Amino acid sequence: MITLEQVAKTIGELPILEAVSLSVKKGQFMCLVGPSGCGKTTLLKCIAGLRTYEGKIRIDGRLSQGINPKIGYVFQEFSLFPFLTVKGNMEFGLRIQKKPRKEMDDIVASLLDLFLLQGFEHAYPHELSGGMQKKVAIARALATDPEILLMDEPFVSLDAQTRNMLQKELLRIWNKTHKTILFITHNVDEAVFLADRVMVLTRRPATVKEEFLIDLERERDRTSPEFVSVRKEILKELEEEYVEQVDRGYKGL
């Protein structure tokens, strides 16, 4: 569903991405992890068509050119429109597509049911908890029925309990919708809990360092020896990048 070939990106004179090649199969859940500031968000924006880049990106076999309707995007920040209700936020993309009123109502009703948000359709974002706002943001991204969902650290600002709950909710929704998901996180525990595959990126300029296939049954037990073992392997790869980054910093002093 997503294929990257030698993708590179430079901002000004600063190289951000360098020869990134990877692929995500249809219906797969992939997590991207890497050192802070390595270019993960930039990579996601290139895939979404929000940034120019060198190399090739294919979506469903076709070269990507600009914003693709097959893609939904969930930002790291709380990005709901504060002047719109839950229902209004969910309808936003549908209005741009000029969907008929009856079809919009049916889609919103289905999303309210899927995300367990019945009764909150007329609430405004400031009246919702952080976790509920994130659920509405994901629902808004799914409203136009994209085949791919790009998620940029969507749970980073939430407390641990809410984060764990939303991870389980996301997996429940993924199992029902069969969307292809590419998910950025700094939390290795989160990556191992969610993903079919975890891709580790190097320090900037980022390229692919290592790939981990997470062959653990769901729902995954974070305390199991198998879970802890995979988590340790991924952390080891990230720590190597961090040490090299620090060493380079000292040498530049």
Domain count, the chain: 2
Is residue 244 predicted with pLDDT exceeding 70?
Answer: no
Is residue 57 within 8 A of residue 7, CB to CB? The reply is yes
Residues 175 and 66 in one domain: yes
Domain limits for position 130 = 78-145
Q: Tokens 């880049």 sit at which residue? A: 53
- What number of residues does the chain have? 253
Per-residue pLDDT at 252: 46
Tens of pLDDT, residues 28-86: 999 999 999 999 999 999 999 999 999 999 999 999 988 888 999 998 876 899 999 99
User: Which has the higher per-residue pLDDT, 239 or 248?
Assistant: 239
Tokens read off for 227: 């879970």
pTM confidence score: 0.90
- Read off the CATH number of the domain in which 220 is found: 3.40.50.300
Cα separation, 168 vs 146, in Å, equals 21
Residues 106 and 231 in one domain: no
* Single residue among 145, 173, 193 that ends a domain in this structure: 145
Is residue 253 predicted with pLDDT exceeding 60?
Answer: no
Q: Which residues contact 92 (CB under 8 A, 6 or more apart)?
A: 81, 84, 140, 143
Residues 85 and 63 in one domain: no
